[in-house]
Amino acid sequence: MAKRKGRGAAPNQKRRAESSRPTRQAATIPQRVWNELKVYGIPIGAVTSLLGILYLPRWINVSLVILTAGIVFAIRADTTVPIVKILRSKGGFRAYLYFASFLLAVGLIGTATFILGRQIGHTSGVREVLQDLDLPTRPLPPPRPRFPGDLNLDEYCRSEGPYQIMVPGPASLSVTVEGETITVPFPDDLRRAAEKKYGHNYLICGTRLRHPTPGAAEIEQVAFHVDKACAWQYPGQKVKAIAPKDRRQIDQWRCHLTSGPPATWP
C-alpha cells in the first residue's frame, strides 16, 4: 500500500512544482524592436560621439558609421533577421512602419551624439590632446557671409588653429588685441619665404594673443595666400581675393568670382 501511495504522490508533486514556477511570457514585437534599438543605438552612439570629437572628413564619418552598423548586424543577425521575417509576415505596411521608425531612432541617436561629441571637441582641453596626438581634424565650417564678397579673415585663422589674423608689414606684423592695434616681430626669413611663394597677396595667421604685450617666443606665424581664405569662405566656387588699398584694413578684403562679380552663397 505504501508503495502505491508513493507512486501516486510523485506525479502530484511534479505537477505542483511545475505550477509553482513563474510563467515566462514571450516578448511582444514592440519590445523586441526596442531591445534591438538599444543594442544598435549604444555602439553607433559611441562611434558618432567619437567622430564628433575628432571632426574627421564627412566621407570618413559616414563610412565608419556604416561599418559599425554592419558589424552590429553581423553579430545580431540571429536576433534581427527573425524580427524582420515576423514583421513581413504580418503585412507590408507594418513592416515598413517599424523599419522607418527604427532607422529614424538610430539616426536621431547618431546625430545627437555626434553634435555632443563635436561640442566636447571644441573645448580647449580636448583639442590640445588631439593636437599632441597629431590626428587629422576637419577645419571649422565658414560662417555665412554678411554680404556678397564678404571675407571673415579672423574666422579663417580660427579654423586653422588657435590663431588670429595678422597683417604683414616691412619689419613687423600688425594685430588687434582688445581693440588696440599693436605690432609684433616678423622674422625676415618668414617674410622672404612668404613673398617668394605668394607674392604680395598674403596675410599671416598668428598665435591668438590675450594681452597687448606678448613675448616674441610665444608667437607662432603661418603665412597663407588670401585666395585660400576666399576658397574657404565660398566652398565649391572659383574665387579670388581682392585686396583693399590699405592692406591693414582687414574688413575691407573681398572675394570675387574669377568671372568678375562678388562671390555669394547659393
Give per-residue pLDDT as tens, 245-266. 887 788 899 999 998 899 998 7
Q: Is the domain of 198 the same as that of 235?
A: yes
Q: Is the domain of 157 the same as that of 124?
A: no
In this predicted structure, the answer to whether residue 21 has a pLDDT above a threshold of 50 is: no
DSSP at 14: H
Q: Is the domain of 98 the same as that of 160?
A: no
Which range (72-86, 88-102, 196-210) has the least confidence?
88-102
Residue 168 inside a domain? The answer is: yes
In this predicted structure, the answer to whether residue 177 has a pLDDT above a threshold of 70 is: yes
Beta bridge partners of 224: 203
Residue 180 inside a domain? The answer is: yes
Residue 11 inside a domain? The answer is: no
Domain endpoint, select from 132, 163, 179: 132
Q: Is the domain of 157 the same as that of 253?
A: yes
Residue 5 inside a domain? The answer is: no
| pLDDT (mean) for 156-179 | 82
Is 155 exposed, middle or buried, given 0-12, 13-18 or 19+ CB atoms closer than 10 A?
A: middle
Percent of the chain residues past pLDDT 90, beyond the cut:
17
Q: Is the domain of 187 the same as that of 128?
A: no
| pLDDT (mean) for 201-230 | 78
Residues with Cβ within 8 Å of residue 153, at least 6 apart in sequence: 165, 203, 226, 229, 250, 253
Residue 141 inside a domain? The answer is: no
**Phi and psi angles of residue 47, each rounded to the nearest 5 degrees, phi first:** -65, -45
Domain endpoint, select from 99, 132, 165: 132
Q: Is the domain of 248 the same as that of 158?
A: yes
Confidence at residue 153, expressed as pLDDT on a 0 to 100 scale? 92
Residue 14 inside a domain? The answer is: no
| pLDDT (mean) for 111-128 | 75
The CA distance from 7 to 11, in Å, is: 8
Task: Of 25-29, 36-40, 54-58, 122-126, give the range with the top mean pLDDT.
Answer: 36-40
> How many structural domains are present in the chain?
2
Quote the domain boundaries for residue 181: 153-257
Residue 216 inside a domain? The answer is: yes
Would the pTM of this model clear 0.75, i.e. be above it?
Answer: no
* Lookup: cell for 42: 549604444
Confidence at residue 82, expressed as pLDDT on a 0 to 100 scale? 85
Confidence at residue 211, expressed as pLDDT on a 0 to 100 scale? 62
Is 201 exposed, middle or buried, given 0-12, 13-18 or 19+ CB atoms closer than 10 A?
A: middle
How would DSSP label each residue in 135-192?
---PPPPPPPPSSTTB--HHHHHHHHSSEEEEEE-SSEEEEEETTEEEEEE--HHHHH
Q: Is the domain of 45 the same as that of 113?
A: yes
Domain endpoint, select from 132, 163, 196: 132
In this predicted structure, the answer to whether residue 24 has a pLDDT above a threshold of 50 is: no
Confidence at residue 1, expressed as pLDDT on a 0 to 100 scale? 47
Residue 47 inside a domain? The answer is: yes
Q: Is the domain of 116 the same as that of 190?
A: no
> 3-class DSSP state for residue 241?
strand
Which is more confident, 227 or 32?
227
Residues with Cβ within 8 Å of residue 125, at least 6 apart in sequence: none
Percent of the chain residues past pLDDT 70, beyond the cut:
77
What integer best gives the mean pLDDT of the chain? 79
Q: Is the domain of 90 the same as that of 158?
A: no
Number of Cβ within 10 Å of residue 205's Cβ equals 24
Q: Give residue 9's Cα distance to chain centre.
A: 70
Confidence at residue 229, expressed as pLDDT on a 0 to 100 scale? 93
Could you list the beta-strand ranges (E) of the chain: 163-168, 172-177, 180-185, 202-207, 221-225, 239-242, 254-257
Confidence at residue 217, expressed as pLDDT on a 0 to 100 scale? 47
Q: Is the domain of 39 the same as that of 102?
A: yes
Q: Is the domain of 97 the same as that of 38?
A: yes
Which range (82-86, 150-154, 161-165, 210-214) has the least confidence?
210-214
Q: Is the domain of 48 the same as that of 110?
A: yes
DSSP at 210: S
Confidence at residue 242, expressed as pLDDT on a 0 to 100 scale? 92
